[in-house]
């Protein structure tokens, strides 16, 4: 068991054994809350680690395909407005 002291700025340090065990790094975000009179800290996963976890809802197209589709839609709208 490791002990730490609360500084005048309400800061403390984590023991190196905890840091290594949880693979913590400077700048990482930690969620914190009180539960049963204890302070709980939980590492917040970085956004990068979740990249690719969700399937896209639509097919990705190239900028050229997007441009052609837009030009076609604009042309169709313009043709409808001409008397």
Q: Is the pLDDT of residue 73 over 60?
A: yes
How many CA atoms are closer than 13 Å to the CA of 68, on its beta-carbon side? 5
| Closest to 58 (Cα-Cα) out of 70, 50, 66 | 66
18 neighbors 24 (Cβ within 8 angstroms): yes
Percent of the chain surpassing pLDDT 90? 51
Please provide the size of the chain in residues.
83
What is the phi/psi pair of residue 70, to 5°? -65, -45
Distance CA 63, CA 52 (A): 21
Mean pLDDT of the region 28-57: 82
CB under 8 Å to 34, separation ≥6 — which residues?
A: 40
**pTM of the entire predicted model:** 0.51
């Amino acid at each position: 068991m490791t002990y730490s002291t609360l500084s005048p700025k309400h800061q403390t340090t984590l023991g190196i054994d905890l840091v290594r065990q949880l693979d913590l790094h400077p700048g990482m975000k930690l969620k914190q809350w009180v539960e049963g009179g204890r302070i709980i800290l939980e590492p917040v996963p970085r956004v990068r680690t979740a990249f690719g976890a969700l399937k896209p809802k639509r097919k990705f197209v190239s900028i050229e395909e997007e441009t052609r589709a837009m030009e076609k839609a604009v042309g169709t709208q313009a043709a409808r407005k001409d008397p």
